[in-house]
């Protein structure tokens, strides 16, 4: 059986649509359709119901899903074992690709140093970095698009994922220099009168801040959400309002005088969770990347 068909099947079962599957696998949508039909013909049973809301695995498809993932993992282990044997013969280093998903704040701050360190120590190990929020990263782990995810979440409760807390990122309220709250102690009543520019929905610390602000008495504050931390940070630097961000993402701007700290209500540091799929095989290259991530965050 062509394992490409199984990869497409697993991705479609997790993604829920042919469009999303084609995008994830970098295939034409017609190719995804042909591959699924080929697999259904080979197995002699429909694997998906095409519904108005998306694509849903049939009972046979659900039974096949875990088996298909195990086959794909076995193939990955086979390739890695062969590569390890070749390294033993040639004296080569660890090689291969490791896909890491993380939020925008970590991608722009912590992870470049990790990738630079790995390139120096393991030049044949290709680390692919993907900016992804929690929902996208979890989906990536389940479909196999990601080997590792870093989630800024208090906890990860999904039973099919293994999570380990490796650090805590301090949060800080910031405004533009000269803002009325620049360097001041501010309570929730004062913050409620400000405009806020925060990260997109699904970001745990931004969601918590928005819930708190909207729960305050009086007129709700003006809240604008962005998919990019840079956009939120730029609006704040221009004097348009406040934001709450991991301190590491604004440290340089604070030092350069482009942003100023607002001493607002205490914001609990947000945990950094290193997450992988529980059943999926963890390749040697992925283990090396996980160890380097753990070391770097611990030092930071």
CATH code assigned at 5: 1.10.10.10
Contacts of 89 (CB under 8 A, 6+ apart): none
pLDDT for the residue 82: 65
CB of 43 within 8 A of CB of 10?
Answer: no
Q: Give pLDDT tens digits for 11-56.
A: 898 888 899 889 888 899 999 999 999 999 999 999 999 888 889 9
My answer on whether 285 and 148 are in the same domain is yes
Containing domain of residue 175, as a range? 171-268
Q: Which of 65, 92, 119 lies at the terminal end of a domain, its last residue?
A: 92
For residues 9 and 145, state if they share a domain. Answer: no
Give the pLDDT band of residue 284 (cuts 50, 70, 90): confident
Q: 246: domain CATH number?
A: 3.40.190.10
Mean pLDDT for the chain overall: 88
> Within this chain, do residues 164 and 197 fall inside the same structural domain, yes or no?
no
Bin 168: left if φ > 0, else alpha if -120 < ψ < 50, else beta.
beta
Residues 135 and 199 in one domain: no
Domain boundary among 49, 70, 92: 92
Same domain? For 175 and 263 the reply is yes
pLDDT (tens digit, 9 = 90+) per residue, 117-168?
Answer: 998 888 888 898 988 888 889 888 887 789 999 999 988 988 889 999 999 9
Q: Which of 67-81, 143-157, 185-199, 269-283 has the highest mean pLDDT?
A: 185-199
83 and 13 share one domain: yes
Same domain, 86 and 65: yes
Q: In this structure, are 284 and 163 located in the same domain?
A: yes
27 token code pair: 């295939």
**Contact criterion met (CB below 8 Å) for 190 and 296:** no
Say if residue 264 is in the same domain as residue 175.
yes
pTM summary value: 0.70
Residues 196 and 213 in one domain: yes
Total of domains in the chain? 3
What's the angle, vertex CA 146, arms to CA 145 and CA 152, rounded to 5? 135
Claim to verify: residue 190 and residue 240 sit in the same structural domain: yes
Q: Which residue has the tokens 């945990």?
A: 271
Task: Tell me, yes or no, whether 164 and 289 share the same domain.
Answer: yes
């Amino acid at each position: 059986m062509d394992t490409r068909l199984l990869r497409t099947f697993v991705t479609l079962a997790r993604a829920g649509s042919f469009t999303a599957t084609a995008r994830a696998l970098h295939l034409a949508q017609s190719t995804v359709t042909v591959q699924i039909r080929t697999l259904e013909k080979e197995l002699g049973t429909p694997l998906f119901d095409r519904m108005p809301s998306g694509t849903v695995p049939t009972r046979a498809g659900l039974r096949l899903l875990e088996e298909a993932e195990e086959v794909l993992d076995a193939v990955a282990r086979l390739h890695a074992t062969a590569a390890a044997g070749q390294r033993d013969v040639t004296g080569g280093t660890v090689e291969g690709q490791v896909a890491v998903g993380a939020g925008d704040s970590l991608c722009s701050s912590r992870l470049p140093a990790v990738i630079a360190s790995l390139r120096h120590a393991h030049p044949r190990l290709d680390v692919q970095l993907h900016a992804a929020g929690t929902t996208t990263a979890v989906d990536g782990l389940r479909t196999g698009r990601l080997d590792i995810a870093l989630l800024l979440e208090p906890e990860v409760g999904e039973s099919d994922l293994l999570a380990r807390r490796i650090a805590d990122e301090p949060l800080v309220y910031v405004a533009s220099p000269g803002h009325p709250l620049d360097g001041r102690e501010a309570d929730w009543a004062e913050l409620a009168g400000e405009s806020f520019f925060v990260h997109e929905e699904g970001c745990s610390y931004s969601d918590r801040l928005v819930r708190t602000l909207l729960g305050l008495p009086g007129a709700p504050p003006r809240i604008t959400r962005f998919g990019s931390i840079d956009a939120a940070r730029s609006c704040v630097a221009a004097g348009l309002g406040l934001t709450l961000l991991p301190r590491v993402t604004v440290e340089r701007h604070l030092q350069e005088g482009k942003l100023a700290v607002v001493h607002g209500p205490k914001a609990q540091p947000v945990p950094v969770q290193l997450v992988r799929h529980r059943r999926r095989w963890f390749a040697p290259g992925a283990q090396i990347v996980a160890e380097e991530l753990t070391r770097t965050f611990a030092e930071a």
